[in-house]
Each structure stands twice: as C-alpha cells, then as structure tokens.
Structure 1
Amino acid sequence: MDPARRTFLQASAILGAAVWVPAFRVLPASAMGSTGCPAPPNFPANIAVYQQAYRNWSGEISIDALWTATAATPQDVVTLANWAHANGWRLRPRGMTHNWAPISVDPDANCETPVLLLDTTAHLTAVSIDTSMSPPTVTAQTGIAMEVLHNALQAAGLGMTNCPAPGALSLGGVLAVNGHGTSVPAIGETPLPGHTFGTLSNMLRSVTAVVWDPKQQAYALRTFSRSEPEMGALCVHLGRAFLVEVTMQVGANARVRCDSYRSISAAALFAASGSGSNSFSGFLDSSGRVETILYPFTDNPWLKVWKPTPVKPLLSREVSGPFNYPFSDNISPELSQLVSQIVSGSASLTPAFGATMATVTDVGLTTNLAWNLWGWSKDVQLYIKPTTLRVAECGFALSCRRSDVQRALSEFHQKYLAMQQAYRDRGEYPMNGPVEIRISSLDKPEDCLVPGAQIPLLSAARPWPGHPEWDCVIWFNILSIPGTPIATRYYSELEEWFYGNYTGDYAGVRIEWSKGWAYTEAGAYTNDVTIQSRIPASFMQGMPADANFRTAVDILDRLDPARIFSTRLLDRLMPRSADLNGDGTVDGADLADQLVAWGPHPSRADLNMDGKVDGDDLARLLNQWGPL
C-alpha cells in the first residue's frame, strides 16, 4: 500500500470522524487496468465479484483492494465454498470488521492473494422470533447487525442480559469470538428464564453451517443441535467455520437503570479485598453489572453500574433508544488535536490527553443528563458507535472465584500504576488509552436449557473442570492509540506479568480472542510461546480428553478439511494433529489412514495444509509418533 494512503487510513480510523465504509468497487472488467490483478478464476457467473478496500476497527489492517462478493442466500455461500475449494482459494466472511486480531484476513493480503471476502451484511439478515417456545427463541442469519437484532427482540418483549456495547457488530462476528457484555448475578438475584450471565455463544441452541460432506465430496449446508458434539467447536469457532443461521434462546425484556459515577477514586474502587462499599466488588454484589473505564494518568474512573429496576426512579432520565453518551462517540476538537500530536511524536502530551478525556466525560454526562438513565435493557446497554475513538486493544480474560475479584483487580491496578510510573520516568508513554474492565459469569452449558448441551470448547469463558470454584471472568482491555511508540513492548511486559501473576488455584488466564495478544516488541501475534503453548494449555489443563482445545481443532478440521475457512494466524494457532483417529496416540492406525488419503484432495491427513497428502505430511506424522 502507498505509505501516504496508509497514513491517511490510519489517521481516519483513530479519529473515527464518520462511519468508515469502503469507498469503491472495482469490477473484474476494470480490475486489470486499475490494480493489475486478474479476476478470480472460474468464478460462478450468477454471483457478482468485485474489488473493495478492507480495514479493521483500529485501522492496523488496511488493504486497498481485496476480491469481495455478496451472498444473497445461504446457498450462495455453499456455491462459493465449493468454488474456493476447487480453485485453491480461501473464503472469509465479512461482517462489520469490528475486530483487531487477523482472524478474518491476513494483514499482508492484496488482490493477488487467493482469498475472497464474502459480505454477509447485505442480504443474510433475516430474523424470526418464536414465542411459543419456553424459553422463546430467535432465529437469525449471521449478517444481521446486533442493533437490528436487539430491536426485533425488544418489539417482541424480549431482551438479553449480557451483550456487547457496540450496535454495529454482525451476529456472526460476535458468536465467532464469544462476544460478551458485563453481568453476574447480584447477591440474591435469580436469573430470568432464557437468559445467561455468560457470553452470547452460550445462548445458542442450533446453528446452520457450511461444512464438508464426505459422501458428496463437497461443501453443503448442515444444521447442528446444541447437543451434537460438533457444537462444542461451532459455538466459538474463531472464523474456522462459516455459520449462515443460528437459533438462540432469549428471555423477557427488563427495565434497567444505569448510574454513572466519577467521584470514586481508582484507589478506592481497586483497593485491597474487604475495603467497603465503594470497591468494585461492593458494586458487583449490589447490582451484578459493573463496568469501569480508567483514563490514563487520572485518579477517578468512569464507573457505570446497571441494575434491573422495574419502576422508573424519580431522578432517572428515561431513554427510548440506545447510544446515550454522544460525547464518547464524537471526537472533540481538543481530543482530535491531542491525538494528532501524540501520533506525530509528542508522547509527553499523554497525561493531558487522559485529563481531557476525563473532562469531556464529566461535561458530557452533565449536558446530556446522562448520569442516571433508565430504559429497556438494549437502550442502556448499547452505547458505542463506529464514530468513537479508534484504538488498539490488548485483551485478557481472567477466571477466578468471585470472592477473589477484588484481589485480582487490586493487583492489576498496582501493576498498572507501577508500569505507568516506570515508563514515565524514562520519558515514555505507551499507555495513552483507557483501561476498560468488565465481568461476566462462565459459559455453563446448563444455562442453554438444551438437554446434553455441549460446552463451548474455545470460549474464553468456558468452565475450568479442575477449578469448579472459579465462577466468573474478569475482562481486561488495555487501550492505546494505533502506532504509539513502544506500545508493543509495554503490552509484552504486561502479558508476561498476567501469565506469571494469576496462576495456581488462584486464577487462570486466557486471551480475549478479538483483541491483541501474543505480544513481543515486534507486535501482537508474534509470541510463539503464547500461540503454541500458553493459549492451547489454557483450554487443555484439567479438561477431558474429548472436550479440549485439540478436540475443537479436530472437529473444525473434519468440518473443513481443506481449511478454506482459515488464515495464517489460525493455522499457526491450530496446527493439524497427526492423531488422525483421535485416540490420543500417533501410531500405525494413523499411518494407515494417511496412506489411504494419499493424493491431491482435502483431508485431515494433509498436515502441512498444502492441498495434498504426500511425503512431507508423512514426515510430520512420523515426527509426532507416540502418545500425545
């Protein structure tokens, strides 16, 4: 990409001055002249294909032109999957591109890369609600926007307890990475039927996906019930599957009050355990729904506390729609100028940037009468628009006992302050964005109310069988302006601390899939120890042999043996196992299976994923020989 264009795209992404959409389409007839890229070979004549720009949420992945198509029906997805398989291409779903991790496309892809983006948001948006069921269910295609889905549910008197704050997310994208909100039961609270305090993926009752059919030797549509083993991998699949429609359980809508606080210090909120009602745990016990946003180099965070409240409190402002904090969605001239100066090298302005964000919050809450809101759950939970400040994010999911939440937060806050001061003493300011903290329950399959419901194997909120006392997840998001000098060093140091501090019977660390992780100074997704060891181990330790990380990878490989639904990062994270029959040992039976699969066709025996089973795959199998 032209450096000037990359700089422009990144600056636009950071400031988020308007909803960014691809500015052009180049049809195949014009592509050779404008980009020099030939059209995808043998493309289905009844489906339009064009080149279009791609950019992720933070602008860190910005690609001038990728071949893109639009699916009008689920069968179009099947057609394109079989086309991709026959022609050696990969097929990637395109939703709202609100992600950081390169699990949708490879960052260095271009129009010569054999990858096709498939826009799901134009037509795969149907939704229907069945209130005759108990609990009610909603069936929706995966391109539907979360705000549209919420509106349909609210019109039917239904809602969700735990959902992400942005409205411009595709349902398919949310489910792929187990999107979540912030909620656990308050002390004495009984969950409403059909609701969950876990992630949205745990509400799934069935999915329809495009998968490989061995009998047809082709990709086809297949529907899976939550009780089928494949659902363990499909509930949270990271983009290694292509879902076209899902059915989720839902429950009765609720009126909710949301109070904002700016008078409570971080020292009090994150104090040591047993520190009183102004502690994070104190608010958690009383309401169950808490979020805090701590601006850099400021003392008092923006604390939001939600609580189900059937009757409007006297001093609350009733709201009839979402996005009630416009000051957080529209960048002020002061913030815009500071961002530009920081990106240009004036890192020492970071404390002023943090103070300005805090002031904008105070003024905005007052002028918009937003300190105390009351309305339907969707209207007080959705508050992030695409016009907000675009940032890079490092994300962790920490499982622990609820009784240890305050301890975990206090330790993090002390580490955060110590690192902030140490870097500042060196004249360095990598931590120039807020820290956001949310909390949810685990993804307990019994919440789904489907007999025999499968555990979401790759959910960062899946239970830890070896630690049944761990009953909640703390979601840490540490933000920075994209391109901030030495931010990757800071994130790498923080990641090492997380893995070293939260250990043993105290807590367990997983990463938040959609965010930044596996840091070295070279950047995110570059730490091989984290990718190849730490992450898989967090889904293996104490897990049953038939319900762990390896199980999920093997299921996804069976459903997509050609790996047309994958990226380089996913291939690194999920290498194929030579244990082809899944008995825990690589032996003669696996060798026999590989020899039967010899030749150029999709197979799990294709261990190097080059489209054929040959001598290199045999060598890889022999290198893994023995018990796993």
Structure 2
Amino acid sequence: MEKVFTSTLLYCTLVFILFHNAPSNCLEYTPPSEKSENSSNATTIELHEGIEFAFEPYKTWGQGIELDSLLLVAYPKSSEEVVELVNWARKNGRNVRPRGFKHSFPPLTVTKDTDPSKVVLVDMVRHITNLEMTTIPAEDTVTNETLRAVKAETGASWQDLMTFLETNNAGLVHSIIIGDATIGGVLAIGAHGAAVPAKGEFLKPGFSFGSLSNLIAAFKAVVWDPETKTYVLKSFSRSDPDSRVFLAHVGRAFLTEVTLIVGENYSLRCKSIVDIPAEELFADPDKNPNATRTFASFLDETGRADVQWYQFTKNPWLKVWSVEPSKPSSCVEVNGPYNYQFPVNINEPTKTVPELGEIAYENVLKGLASKNASDVWGASKNIMLYSNGSSQPIVYGGVVVLTSREKIQKVLSTVVNFYKSLNDEYAAKSEYPIDYYIKFRVTGIDNANDTLIKDAVNTVLSPLSPPKEYPDFNVAFWMNTFTHRNNKLGNQFMKRFEEFYYDTFNGEPGLARPEWSKSWAYTDEGPFTNTNMLEKIIPARFGSDWEWAVSVLNKYDPERVFSNSFLDNSLHL
C-alpha cells in the first residue's frame, strides 16, 4: 500500500492504492472528518497493478444529503475491477454503492447516518464510460429484422449518450431533461421524459413511450454465484424472466453495461406558450367540455408537452414539442442543448415570500424574449435536453399516476383543483409552503412489446411497470412540486398532497406511485420518513410483483452488499 497526504488549513485527504492481492485488512484507516470546498480535488495516484482509491466528501446535487465524514471512493477501470472490488468489500464488511453525479434526492446511494467504515463508493464516471453502436440480431426479434442498439457502460453521462447517438444518426423518442446523470442512475429509477403518441402517430422501431428502462435489451450485472460463493459478472437478456427486477432496481443491484434499443434520429420543434390561463389549460372536462386549449388537446396534437405553473401567476409556461423534419420559417435553429439559459432559478430567499414565483415567472418571460427562445428547432437531443442542472437548494416532490389516455385531462384538473385549494388555505394564513412552481408531464407506461424482442419481459419496480389489475391504463401523469429547502412548511404541504394523491388515485381513475428520483413518503419532518407509506402503501402499489422482486434481488445479492440502511430498514427492498 502506498499513502499520499495532501493538506490545507481546513482539511486532510488520504489517498491510497489497494493492490489486487492486498490483504483484507489493509484499508483499516480512519479518514479525517474535516472537509473543505477543495476536498473533491484530492490528488490520487495509480500503480499498474492497483485500483485507485481516495477519501472524499459526499454531497448530493439537491443538497439534501451531506455527510460530515469523508467516504472511501474507488475508481475501477473496468467491469472486472468492479467485481474484484465488490468481493473485497464483502470480505471486509462494506456495502458497495455506485457513485455518479449524485443528481437525485432519495437516500438510495448513501444515507445521512452512513458509517464511513462500512461503505465504499464506486466512481463510475471516470473510467466506466464506453459507448458503441451495435445491433439486436434478427433471430432475436419478433419482426425477424435487426434492430439498432447502443452498448453503453453505465458510468457514461446521459448527455454523452445522447451526443453519441446523434453522431450515429440515432435517437430516443423522449429523454430526461438534464445531461449530468449517469446511464446507470437514470435506468435504476425508471426515469422518463415527456411523450405519448399524438393522434394518428405509431411507435417506430427502437422507440418506447414508457420509461427509459424499458429500452433495455440486455445488460451485465454483478451478482452472487452460489457455486463459487463469490460475486461475478453475469450477462442477462430481456427475455430472461429474472431480468425484470434489474431493469429499474431502485439501487438494489449493480449494472456495469447495458444494451439499449434506439431509433432513427429526427428533428424537434419546441414552442413556448405563455398566453393560456391556468383555468383553460387545466379545465375540468366535465365542467368545461368546450375548452379548446387544454393540456390534453396539445397531447392529441403533438404527443409531447410539459408545463410549469409558477406560484401566484395566471398563465403557466407550456412547452410543446412536435416532430418537424424541416425547420419551420418562424423557428430559430439551435445547434446545442440547454437553450433556456436564463435565470429561471433564483437564489434562496432569507424568508419565504409569495412574490417568489412571480419573480421567477417574469425571468422566464424576459429570458424567452431576450434569448429568442420562444420557438426553437433542432436535432432531438438539442431540444429534449433543456436544463443544465445547476445546483439549487430546492426540494422536488414527485408522484406519478397511471391512468388511461382519455382520463388525462380529468386527472390533471382534479390534481390542480386540490393543489389550488390547499395553497389558498395556507395563503389565507400568510403561509406559502410551495414558493416556486408545480410541473406536469405525461408519458406512456412500460410495455415489453415496444422492444420488439422475442419473449421480452416487463419491468416490475419501474414507476411505469404495468399494473396487472388495470390493463386499460396506458399513460402516466407525472407531477413535481418545487420549493426551497429552508421552507419547512413544504414538508407539511407535501404530506397532505401525497395523502390526497394516494387516497384519490387508488385504482380508479388512476393508480398513484412514487417517482423514485424525487422526494416522497413525507411527514412534517421531511421526505422518506413516513413509515406507513414506506412499508405498506408504496409496496402495495406494485402488487405481488413487489414481494417477487425482493426475493429475486435477495437471490442475486444475498449478502445485501448492494444496499444501505434506508433500503434495508425503511423501504425493505
């Protein structure tokens, strides 16, 4: 072992190398607890036969999890080194948690009470990033035709994936809006974009309107081998019955490589619309059946839309995407992503004020005008990636409702009516628990048939896993609330909002589930603290699939190396 110490007035970081054949106790060191802004720049060294390690701080993008102690971080260069690392960690009583861009809110990687001596973070973004185009053989598809695909190591960023696909004239039908997330992280929680079929639109080969996890055709995962009594690298195909649990595993597995189906690239137009009052856009179809500019009407027309409604404003910010092979004359062509780089986010206030949403909305209007961004056109990647993910002390609450296409507007109006009444209740007391905005998007649900792979199986733990009891459900309505972290009333508000969601959408007209990447299971103390939600309500929303998934995850990870105290003791996954 070789040790290198780097010091400043505020911190000390230990860096060392674990040789492949090093004794199991060679890492028994207590890292210093001091941290500074420079700690993440710790210098590391690498020897030919070694795996690179360092002690580093841990802080999530949303600033919800920040540890006082430095954590052991490993930098493997290949899937094989990941396997070696996992077996070393098992022998030394450590959990193994993949580290990407830390762009999530739930404690699925580490928890606030993590014992530094019991975990090793596996950095995936430095080396495990290879991308290459491939195909699905004709003999494996229901059409007897080859399908285009991309083989991707899971540490590659989503933006790198989208850029690589664009270079190869390939693309996706929808995407997450940020680029700084790893492929592995995106797939682990069944992430999504915003797209359903427009009227008359048919799904093209290589595309899926379900979660991004539904694109997986094959993968490699580190799993327990009962014969050798070690962890090994195992390949799975989408037709393997056990593969279902890995497609969106909520942090209870470790995938190092995935093969994703992809379609032909295309161009998109995005038009920002800010002149429709909320009462019209969110109109109740039963009370106002003649409303024409409704959210559902835009989905019928183009299939792709999202809406941000800032607090105490009249007109929401509606973005409508449409597939346009040629640039419309009124559009501005864009050649890169993130075309709304104006201050839609504003600094955390010293106190919560009702004007906060109005200020942010005014910034949007000014930015759209000054940046000439109200009507843009370009390659699909450049339109779908529109948030640069700049860190903000903001809490994102997240719920999804599975329902049928004809009920989208009714579900939306029901949610908006309760949201408005709850806000009005607080405002009457000069309280403002949601000080930013609420966001709505719609996708399809997961359907294994989208992959065109013979005997493909469905996801089970994705938020969009098809519920067996409701075969007519074919779309998903996503809701996110955004409020600043210091706004403690937000916890109370979200607890009541979640109760409404799960009580109202308990089968008909929809089925509520958590959005794994956001905040959920609220009490007044904050998210991820509602025991009844964690232990009973959420598992029940996945039916018998939940227990089956737990049993299969334990089969492939009986030592629970790929877990933490939240997954063990709260979610019981």
Shared fold (TM-score, shorter chain, > 0.5): yes
The residue number in structure 2 matching 1:531 is 534
One-letter amino acid of the counterpart of residue 419, structure 1: L
Distance 2:362 2:201 in 1: 35
Rounded to whole Å, the distance in 1 between the matches of 2:195 and 2:284 is 22
Query: For residues 292 and 391 of structure 2, what CA distance do their matches in structure 1 show?
Result: 32
Q: Which amino acid aligns with 1:567?
A: N
**Residue 241 of structure 1 corresponds to which residue in structure 2?**
253
Tell me the residue number matched to 2:322: 307
Where does residue 60 of structure 2 map in the other structure? 56
* Counterpart position of 1:580: none
Instruction: Compute the displacement of 1:87 (Å).
Output: 1.1
Task: Compute the TM-score of the two structures, normalised by the length of structure 1.
Answer: 0.82
SS state at 2:58 partner: strand
How far 1:388 sits from its partner (Å)? 5.5
Q: Deviations over 1:347-385 (max 9, x none)?
A: 2x2x21111111100010011111111111110000111
Name structure 1 gaps, 5 residues minimum: 1-22, 38-43, 577-628
* Aligned 1:91-240 pairs, distance under 5 A: 91-109=96-114, 111=116, 113-130=117-134, 134-240=146-252
Partner of 1:26: 14
Query: What CA distance in whole angstroms lies between the structure 2 residues aligned with 1:212 and 1:110?
Result: 24
* 1:553 maps to 2:550: yes
Structure 2 residue aligned with 1:416 = 419
8 Å Cα contact 1:532/1:572 also seen in 2? no
* Local SS of the residue matching 1:99: coil
CA distance in 2, matches of 1:276, 1:389: 37
Match of 1:324 among 339, 348, 364: 339
Tell me the residue number matched to 1:8. none
- Over residues 127-168 of structure 1, what are the superposed CA-to-partner deviations in whole Å (9 max), with x where a residue is unaligned? 000268632010000000011111110011000012100011
CA distance in 1, matches of 2:254, 2:323: 36
CA 1:213 to 1:268, structure 2 compared with 1: closer, same or farther past 3 Å?
A: same
From 76, 96, 107, the counterpart of 2:81 = 76
Work out the CA distance in 1 between the residues paired with 2:298 and 2:542.
Answer: 31
Deviation larger for 240-249 or 417-426? 417-426
Letter in 2 for 1:303: L
Distance 1:32 1:442, change over 3 A: closer
Secondary structure (helix, strand or coil) at the match of 2:241 reads coil
* Distance in 2 (alpha carbons) for counterparts of 1:358 and 1:373: 19
Structure 1 residue 501: Cα displacement: 1.3
Give CA deviations for 1:507-559 in whole Å, capped at 9, x if unaligned.
1111101111111112111111111111111100xxxx5xx111111111111
Call closer, same or farther: CA 1:466–1:71 in 2, change over 3 Å: same
User: How far 1:25 moved relative to its partner?
Assistant: 4.7
5 Å matches for 1:607-626? none
* Mapped partners of 2:572, 2:317: distance in 1: 42
- State the shift of 1:36 in Å: 8.9
Q: Distance in 1 between the 2:280 and 2:297 partners?
A: 11
Letter in 1 for 2:548: T
Gaps of 5+ in 2: 1-10, 18-26, 36-47, 138-145
Residue 276 and residue 153 in structure 1: after superposition, are their counterparts in 2 closer, same or farther (change >3 A)? Answer: same
Deviation at 1:186, TM superposition (A): 0.2
Moved over 4 A (4+): 28-33
Q: How many pairs does the alignment contain?
A: 529
Measured at CA, do residues 263 and 556 of structure 1 come closer, stay the same or move farther in structure 2, by a change above 3 Å? same
Q: Secondary structure at the match of 2:67?
A: strand
Measure, in 2, the Cα distance between the counterparts of 1:231 and 1:110: 31
Which residue in 2 is equivalent to 1:255?
A: 267
Among 355, 360, 364, which residue is 1:357 paired with? Answer: 360
User: Is the 1:177–1:514 Cα contact (8 Å) retained in structure 2?
Assistant: yes
Shift of 1:573: 4.9
In structure 2, do the counterparts of structure 1 residues 114 and 356 end up closer, same or farther at CA, with 3 Å as the change threshold?
Answer: same
Contact 2:311 2:435 in 1 (8 A): yes
Contact 1:162 1:199 in 2 (8 A): no
Find the residue that maps to 1:27 and give its secondary structure: strand
| Alpha-carbon distance between aligned partners in 2 of 1:377 and 1:93, rounded to the nearest angstrom | 29
Percent identical across equivalent pairs? 33
Distance apart, 1:32 and its partner CA: 5.1
Residue pair 1:277, 1:283 contacting (<8 A) in 2 also: no
**C-alpha distance in structure 2 between counterparts of 1:388 and 1:90, whole Å:** 27
**Closer/same/farther in 2, CA of residues 439 and 24 from structure 1, 3 Å limit:** farther
- The secondary structure found in structure 2 opposite 1:356 is helix
* Structure 1 residue 399 corresponds to structure 2 residue 402: yes
Task: Compute the displacement of 1:182 (Å).
Answer: 0.3
Write the letter of the residue equivalent to 2:79. P
Deviation, 1:464, is: 1.6
Letter in 2 for 1:311: S
Q: Is 1:267 equivalent to 2:279 in the alignment?
A: yes
Matched residue of 1:360: which SS? helix
Give distance in 1, aligned partners of 2:358 and 2:551: 49
Q: How big is the shift at 1:277? A: 2.5
| Alignment partners' CA distance in 2, 1:100 and 1:495 | 17
Please identify which structure carries the higher helix content.
1
Quote the Cα distance in structure 2 between the aligned partners of 1:81 and 1:328: 43
What do the CA deviations read for 1:547-576 (whole angstroms, capped 9, x no partner)? Answer: x11111111111100001011121135547
> Cα 1:144–1:24, aligned 2, differ >3 Å: closer, same or farther?
farther
Higher mean alpha-carbon deviation, 251-260 vs 385-394, is at 385-394
The answer to whether the 8 A contact 2:61-2:391 is kept is no
